[in-house]
Structure 1
Amino acid sequence: MMAMPEQAALCFPLLVNTSCIRTTRPPSVAALSYMLLSAIILITFTLNLLVIISISHFKQLRTPTNLLLLSLAASDFLVGFLMLFQLFLLDGCWFFGDVMCVVYYILDYVITSASIGSMVLISVDRYVAICDPLHYPIKVTQIRVQICVFLCWSASLVFHCLCFFDALKQPGKFNTCVGECVIVVTYAVGMTDLFFSFIGPLTVIVVLYMRVFVVAVSKVRAMRSHVGIVTLRGTTVKSSELKAARTLGVVVVVFIACIMPYFCIAISGQDVALNASSSAFIICLFYFNSCLNPLIYAIFYPWFRKSIKLIVTLQILKPDSSQARIM
């Protein structure tokens, strides 16, 4: 009579001696967790897909800055895909095999680094737009932005494939039971990734936005006597650029707040053991940022709200809808 409860608590009840133990929760707590995470996944998928469709479809929105937002929205959309696995990890069980475990972690790291890289590019874009507006159209072109986005994603993919090369050769090497997904990263690799994926980019973002903030404040003060356009030290900055800097600044601050815990636990002792079950909350916090970004766009960007109406009402199916005036 005691064997049935023990088997019911296993990830794989038929593998009594080798299966991992399932995390048990009260039914109400489990149901609430599944419903909440499912809602976040649905919102993340839907809103980021709207951002992707908006910028891809409407020609007026294909500006260098929006191309960077498109890259960020693409990474956020993929985060929604990764969050599907968190539904299963809520019970502490991995049902997709050792190879998929490694692939999952690689995708997680690649998308994380690509998101941070996109944030760095957004910070550079705002820095040039605010601090050197005269040369902005020359320095920041669509071709250059596309190249930078491609290099950002490619470098992230290659770097993390190399970091997890040993895990790819021997999937499941560090698992202690069937149904576990554990990847062990050496201290050297962990420190390298921490610097190139977090400390370095975060430093660049903070320094650039501090500079943008100082310049923007001085130009906002000048706006009291100049409506629409600010003139300072021989350069002109449109008030729309200042508003864009403010909005993207909110995006950056929220992003840093969400990923900070994720990287604060990245280094622990001589080795870094990342267990998919035990770190689910920290990972979900980072994932939740992907749901917040399009909500910020909806609050601060009128063009996003207008494009949503055109998409939802299927106006984009009309001929020449891509030429519609959105901004």
Structure 2
Amino acid sequence: MSDLVVGLAVLFGVIFGRPPDFYSSQIECAIQMGMVVSSTIVSVYTVGLIGLDRFLYIVHGMKYNRWMYPRRARLLIGCTWVLGLILGFLPLTGLWTLYDTQNGKKCWFILLAPPGLVLLIVTIGLVPVLMIIVLYSIILYHAMKKVLQLRRADKNRTNENGGRDENLRIFRGGESTSIGDETAKQKAKNRPSRIKAVKVVLFTCGTIVVTWAPYFIACTMYVFCDPATGACDSIGYAIDTPLALLGLGNSLLNPLIYAWWHNGFRNFMRRILCRDPTIP
């Protein structure tokens, strides 16, 4: 839903914020920025909740059902939306705003919101990012530890068998197939890969860090920059276009990472598209 709202906000800006007239009022600018900021906060915190859910399931699996259940999950998701809507639409309410967008020609949130609100949103947005890095680092540690345990167990079983399984062969029509070799290949295929575990963790954490960290850093630099140096305009334009597009790209990656990579979702789509009820 948050990624969908990001798309609707972009369409809103295309329809109502087209040049040369741009926005006819500051209210339209505040509405679009409210949609973008609120959905962004919800998206980032939803990813953080997914990371927290995985952490509890992997590291504390025995207590997972006691700590995480549907009612609590709905409550946490609802809290993210309340937080996002409050922070995103504060300038629209007039309670905490700074209308300096040149009558809608520069509809930037860093111009619409005062420095204090910008810093608050940046700080709140960085919390789930840092939480994901910490939690996934712990998950990676436990995954690596488990991989080493499985490899030691495989090695111990091989030593106990004394290699006898590898000497058993089946002869068919002049061709020989080693059962031990096939078993070893199958074990190697199914054995958890250390490199794969590292790639999964780095890719999951890296997407949100790469897409949103530059935007948050640039917003912080804009708040503390000196207008007399002229650097504020350059940072502002970078925030408005390339860094904003980079951050919005996270909404494109989220469905790919958290939906398409999910086996249940892929099988569901295959059943619909292929019309094959036998697909599990």
Shorter chain as denominator, the TM-score bin is 0.5 to 0.7
- Residue matched to 2:101: 175
The answer on whether the counterparts of 2:211 and 2:250 sit within 8 Å (CA) in structure 1 is yes
Equivalent position of 2:70 in the other structure: 142
- Return the offset for 1:130: 1.6
Corresponding residue number in structure 1 for 2:52: 124
Unaligned runs of 5+ in 1: 1-73, 228-238, 316-320
Tell me the amino acid that sits aligned with residue 221 of structure 1: L
Kindly indicate whether the alpha-carbon contact (under 8 Å) linking 1:86 and 1:280 is maintained by their aligned counterparts in 2: no
The residue that corresponds to 1:264 in the other structure is 217
Structure 2 residue 40 is the aligned partner of structure 1 residue 108 = no
C-alpha spacing 1:135/1:226, structure 2 compared with 1 (3 Å): farther
Pairwise CA RMSD: 3.7
2:206 corresponds to 1:253:
yes
CA offset at residue 118 of structure 1? 0.8
SS at match of 1:266: helix
Letter in 2 for 1:284: L
Contact 2:45 2:80 in 1 (8 A): yes
- Please list every run of at least 4 consecutive aligned residues from structure 1 whose deviation after the TM superposition is greater than 4 angstroms: 85-93, 167-170, 177-180, 243-249, 270-278
- Residue type of the partner of 2:269? I
SS at match of 1:265: helix
Q: 1:111 to 1:325 in 2, by over 3 A?
A: same
C-alpha distance after superposition, 1:60-80 (max 9, x if no partner): xxxxxxxxxxxxxx2122222
Change (3 A) 1:146 1:115: same
2:85 maps to which of 154, 157, 167: 157
User: Which structure exhibits the higher relative contact order, with contacts defined as CA atoms closer than 8 Å and separated by 6 or more residues?
Assistant: 1
Letter in 2 for 1:215: H
Q: What is the distance in 2 between the residues matched to 1:139 and 1:178? A: 47
Q: Does 1:190 align with 2:151?
A: no
What is the DSSP-based 3-state SS (H/G/I as helix, E as strand, rest coil) of the residue aligned with 2:113? strand
More moved, 210-219 vs 288-297: 288-297
| Conserved? CA contact 1:127–1:212, under 8 Å | yes
Contact residue 94 and residue 179 of structure 1 kept, 8 A? yes
- Percent identity (aligned): 21
How many residue pairs were aligned?
229
Q: Which of the residues 120, 127, 131 maps onto 1:204? A: 131
Q: What's 2:269 paired with? A: 308
Q: Matched residue of 1:260: which SS?
A: helix
- Of 280-289 and 90-99, deviating more is 90-99
The residue that corresponds to 2:240 in the other structure is 279
1:215 to 128, 135, 142: 142
CA–CA distance in 2 between the matches of 1:287 and 1:143? 30
8 Å contact 2:38–2:88 — kept in the other structure?
yes
Choose the corresponding residue for 2:9, options 82, 85, 91. Answer: 82
| Cα 1:125–1:297 shift into 2, 3 Å | closer
Q: Structure 1: how far apart are the matches of 2:56 and 2:49?
A: 11
Q: Label 1:207 to 1:135 Cα distance change in 2 as closer, same or farther (>3 A).
A: same
Structure 2: state its 5+ residue gaps: 155-191, 226-231
- Cα distance change of structure 1 residues 142 and 269 upon mapping to structure 2, 3 Å threshold: closer
Q: TM-score with structure 2 length normalisation?
A: 0.67
Q: CA deviation at 1:96?
A: 6.0
**What residue is the counterpart of 1:166 in the other structure?**
94
Say which structure is richer in helix: 2
Whose Rg is larger?
2
